[in-house]
Amino acid sequence: MANLRLIDVATKRCPMQEGNESKLKQFVDSNGFHNFIIYLIVFNAITIGMETSPNLVNSVGNWFERIDNVILYIFIVEIALKLFVYRLDFFRSGWNVFDFTIVAIAAVPLAGPFAVFRTLRILRTLRLLNNIPRLRFIIEAILHAIPSIGWIMVLLVIVFYIFAVLGTNFYGADFPQFFGSIGETMFTLFQVMTLESWSSGIARPMMEKLPYVYVFFIPFILIATYTTLNIFIAIVVNTMNEIQADESQREEDRIKNFVRDENKEVKKQLSDLKTQLSEIEAHLKKK
């Protein structure tokens, strides 16, 4: 409720003059305001973290909630200001949409059965990814690698699905805790792919009843880990390839420039020779 009223206040500010608006733009884009928001996100992350301790909550009463509400108000004002300054351009950046969504979700008042979702407020910390340029750069670099591995992921999903159907059909009746349904088998296969207790916890107990169960596990492990390995290799090779093409291009450009400069002199000397020859020719013809 309070949140909604605040948004009203923010949007009522709309009918202002250009002068104010450009001053506001300066303020919104200033380093000071930017850093203030970053410190506030970190401070909020710490207070939300401290709220997990029942002792702390008991001793300070509902101060945490009050702090949290104040910070949320500031975030809403911040987004509102940015919306006011940039209008719809604000939503052109995916990062801004991300920011807006996180604050909007946090502004939804939760009560009753949904109170457990209050803990999702910690997701606001993700705003750091947008507001610290170096982190945004890393996230973009990591996301940049995804297309090159997308189809290997599809391949991995196909492998998982085939083994999940086979596992459920073959072992579902005897070992329902591991292979009871496609979903449970998928979870078991994920565990096996991480190599966690795949033998001591799953394969060996099963082998007491089904001694040939290794023909299921060993091919799965080999295929799944080899495919995962190829995801990794794809990223390394791709990144290296791009960097190398860049480096190669730069080297090429420098060599070309060097050759061009060297040849410029040669051509200069050649054209001098030509001039000299023309003079001689003219001299001869004159005679």
Shortest gap between Cβ of 92 and its own copies (angstroms)? 25
**Size of residue set near its own copies by CB under 8 A:** 98
Choice from 134, 140, 174, 206 touching its own copies (CB under 8 A): 134
Residue number with CB closer to its own copies (88 or 266):
266
Q: How far is the CB of 105 from its own copies (least distance, A)?
A: 14
Options 101, 135, 140, 144; binder of its own copies; rule CB under 8 A: 135
Verify binding: residue 35, its own copies, rule CB under 8 A. no
Please list every residue from 179 through 198 that binds its own copies, using CB under 8 A.
Answer: 181-182, 187, 190-191, 194-198
Range 77-96, binding its own copies (CB under 8 A): none
Range 219-278, binding its own copies (CB under 8 A): 221, 226-227, 229-230, 232-233, 235-237, 239-241, 243-245, 247-252, 254-256, 258-260, 262-263, 265-267, 269-274, 276-278
Polymer length of the chain? 287
Q: How far is the CB of 182 from its own copies (least distance, A)?
A: 6
Tokens 């940039």 correspond to what residue?
86
Q: Is 165 among the residues that bind its own copies (CB under 8 A)?
A: yes
CB-based contacts of 88, cutoff 8 Å, min separation 6: none
For its own copies, the closer CB: 88 or 116: 116
Is 11 a binding residue for its own copies by CB under 8 A? The answer is no
SS (H, E, C) the chain: CHHHHHHHHHHHCCCCCHHHHHHHHHHHHCHHHHHHHHHHHHHHHHHHHHCCCHHHHHHHCCHHHHHHHHHHHHHHHHHHHHHHHHHHHHHHCHHHHHHHHHHHHHHCCCCHHHHHHHHHHHHHHHHHHHHCHHHHHHHHHHHHCHHHHHHHHHHHHHHHHHHHHHHHHHHCCCCHHHHCCHHHHHHHHHHHHCCCCHHHHHHHHHHCCCCCCHHHHHHHHHHHHHHHHHHHHHHHHHHHHHHHHHHHHHHHHHHHHHHHHHHHHHHHHHHHHHHHHHHHHHHHHHC
- As measured in angstroms, the least distance from the Cβ of 33 to its own copies is 22
Give the x-and-dash track for 47-66 against its own copies (CB under 8 A).
Answer: -xx--xx-------------
Indicate the residue among 97 and 222 with the shorter CB distance to its own copies. Answer: 222
CB of 4 to its own copies, least distance (A): 25
